[in-house]
Structure 1
Amino acid sequence: MNSEIRLRKAETEDRDAIWDIIQQAIERRKQDGSTQWQQGYPNLGTVESDIEKGFGYVMTVDGEIAVYTALILNDEPAYSTIEGAWLSNGEFVVVHRVAVDRKFAGQGLVKKLFDLIEDFTRSQGIQSIKVDTNFDNTAMLKILESKGYSYCGEVFLAGGMRKAFEKIII
């Protein structure tokens, strides 16, 4: 089975589907015993703001939304202070709020998402990708490791310390 997988900007009409996927992810994190996303963030306002600002992206499988993420260019104030050091100080894409629809869970789609984000970053002529995650988000930590991201240190974000990673793309 060869599905068509695409990464595209989220549209206003995607909002409800995206919010549903994020709510599933919040619940999954809770069941995993994680503290990430358990304090009322991200919320519907976050999604609406992402879409409005053009940060929201969806990865579709045969036209159906499977994964949501926010891609932000050069702008994450929390990243200006790191306990550690980034690999570079050029332009970067920040990856936030990765969430997979339960129907598509366990299919390796987040790894595929990171491939598409690398393509996007390269096509924009941007030097690197920066991402952070919770200490207890073992699934994401494994993905970042498998994709060749370097652990750079810790950043303070959304009320807690996060592990920060970077990968040089060009």
Structure 2
Amino acid sequence: MTHDQLLFRPAAEADLGRIMEIIRAAQARMRARGSSQWQNGYPAATDIRRDIERGYGHLLAEAETGLTVAYGAVLFEGEPAYEAIEGRWLTTGPYVMVHRLAVAEERLRQGVARRFMQRVEALALTRGIGSFRVDTNFDNAGMLALLAEAGFVRCGEIRYGAEHREAFEKVLRRQ
């Protein structure tokens, strides 16, 4: 299946079951690799339901079957934790960010996460947003590789309570 056959759309309540299957499989993969990320019950169905209600939840689905193959929360409102970065962001203006990105087990290593990120970039540009920020755990090798490949620059660390995350930014256009 080509990536052009993947539809990017807002998630709906009816998608919650499939999204949670994808999230649970991602949690198990992280656990198997020894990662501490997503091992404390997060993200739970309540987190995803809240994403959907707020309009943050987005997914990639196969055009032909409608099957969801990736999920992520796309936010344009900013992230309070990003204000206290230990380091320095590349830009100072508005930005888009992604949280809770996960790809279906059967679609791993097929460029699905990269396609999701590309669709988020395109959405941001249509809204006049020229910056894309992301954070991830220091041991999330898959996400770290995706960010490097996609041209994100490590800007420092941010904290969620006692947990540290690597912080990245990609300039989509000059601000």
TM-score of the two chains, using structure 1 as the length reference: 0.96
SS in 1 for 2:34: coil
Tell me the alpha carbon deviations over residues 32-73 of structure 1, each in whole angstroms, 9 at most, x when there is no partner: 110000011111110110000000000112221000000011
**Cα offset for 1:140?**
0.6
**Cα offset for 1:141?**
0.5
Residues of 1 paired with 2:132 and 2:62: CA distance?
Answer: 23
Name the structure 2 match of 1:168.
Answer: 171
**Cα offset for 1:158?**
5.9
Name the structure 1 match of 2:87.
Answer: 84
Name the structure 2 match of 1:19.
Answer: 20
Residues of 2 paired with 1:158 and 1:50: CA distance?
Answer: 21
Residues of 1 paired with 2:110 and 2:12: CA distance?
Answer: 25
Unpaired segments of 5 or more residues in structure 2? none
Q: 1:136 aligns with which of 139, 158, 174?
A: 139
Q: 1:106 aligns with which of 101, 106, 109?
A: 109
Residues of 2 paired with 1:2 and 1:154: CA distance?
Answer: 36
Q: Taking every aligned residue pair, what percent have the same amino acid on both sides?
A: 39
Contact 2:78–2:94 (Cα < 8 Å) also in 1: no
Tell me the alpha carbon deviations over residues 6-28 of structure 1, each in whole angstroms, 9 at most, x when there is no partner: 21100110011111111111111
Instruction: Specify the code of the residue in structure 2 equivalent to 1:114.
Output: M
Number of residue equivalences: 170
Question: Structure 1 residue runs of 4+, over 4 Å off?
Answer: none
Unpaired segments of 5 or more residues in structure 1? none
SS in 1 for 2:38: coil
Name the structure 2 match of 1:119.
Answer: 122
Instruction: Specify the code of the residue in structure 2 equivalent to 1:112.
Output: R
